[in-house]
Structure 1
Amino acid sequence: MFAVHFFEKKNLLLSQLLKRVPSVGEDLKIKGRKGKVSGVNNIDEKIFHVQVILENVNKSKLIVDNSKKKKK
């Protein structure tokens, strides 16, 4: 088992115990966001830091139609 820490730039996203360390270029899904492994650093025998590039999420706001609401 390996302790794998997933980072986006310098922000820690996730720490997991895994049987297999992800390789460079592998597609991942962390916290519901798609990403790709850009680098793997071996810190210790069982500790790995994985650099991840996440896709941008477009948050579109819904337009609320207030004309149907009851006016007071």
Structure 2
Amino acid sequence: MFAVHFIENNNVLLTQLLNRVPTEGEELKIKGRKAKVSGIKNIDEVNIHVLVTLEVVKKVNLVVDNSKKKKK
């Protein structure tokens, strides 16, 4: 088993014990967000740092029509 540390911009996102280490370019889901493996660093026999880039999702604000509400 390997201790896999998922890192983005020097921030540890997640640490897991895994039987299989993800490969470079693999698509992952970390904490409900899409991520892609950009690199792998072997620290020692057990610890592995997996560098990931998270997909940026822009939120769209909906315009609310206030003309139908009662005015006080």
TM-score, normalised with respect to structure 2: 0.86
Percent of aligned pairs sharing the same letter: 69
In 2, Cα distance between equivalents of 1:47 and 1:4: 6
Could you say which residue in structure 2 is the equivalent of 1:60?
A: 60
In 1, Cα distance between equivalents of 2:17 and 2:69: 51
In 2, Cα distance between equivalents of 1:31 and 1:62: 25
Q: Deviations over 1:25-44 (max 9, x none)?
A: 11111122212111111112
In 2, Cα distance between equivalents of 1:57 and 1:65: 25
In 1, Cα distance between equivalents of 2:19 and 2:70: 58
2:32 maps to amino acid: G
2:69 maps to amino acid: K
After the TM superposition, list the runs of 4 or more consecutive aligned residues in structure 1 that deviate by more than 6 angstroms.
Answer: none
2:62 maps to amino acid: L
Where in structure 1 are there 5+ consecutive unaligned residues?
none
1:57 maps to amino acid: V
Could you say which residue in structure 1 is the equivalent of 2:11?
A: 11
Q: How many aligned positions are there?
A: 72
In 1, Cα distance between equivalents of 2:4 and 2:46: 8
Where in structure 2 are there 5+ consecutive unaligned residues?
none
